[in-house]
Amino acid sequence: MKFETESKLLTAFNFSSLTDIVMLLLIFFLLTSQFVITTGVQVKLPKSETSETVNENQFIVTITKTNDIYFGSERISLGELADKIIKFPDQQREKNLVIKADKEVPIEILIKVIDIAKSSGINKFTIATEKESI
């Protein structure tokens, strides 16, 4: 049995397969964007109703619940904090210091960090919180 084939030129392009591919890519990117993990030291921040987003280009000092202190992503001691702040140029030291302290950190450690930063020339402070879900 012999089949005959016609060799016609395709006159119209069918966009249905292209639309399916675009929709699958859209679903893929929407689902995988939920898996973006924030970098840096992980702490459980206290909750607040008026929480705002933090610019990652600011000075960030993180205090974990084990009282470890991080300047950016570098672990330092409390005594080294002043040296790290002083090494930055004056125009950067005029910026806001963001303190990300775990909710279990004693207030005493937080006050020591603020005192060291003030003595190093920083006058603006923000204590980071998480947006409270209602």
What pLDDT score was predicted for residue 36? 57
- Predicted confidence at residue 25, as pLDDT, reads 92
Q: How far apart are CA 60 and CA 73, in angstroms?
A: 9
Q: What are phi and psi of 81, to 5 degrees?
A: -60, -45
In this predicted structure, what is the pLDDT of residue 26?
A: 92
Q: How far is CA 1 from the centre of its chain?
A: 68
Higher pLDDT: 36 or 43? It is 43
Kindly report the average pLDDT of the chain as a whole number. 78
Q: What is the CATH number of domain 47-131?
A: 3.30.420.270
Q: Measure Cα distances from 7 to 4, 14, 15, 90 in Å.
A: 10, 18, 21, 76
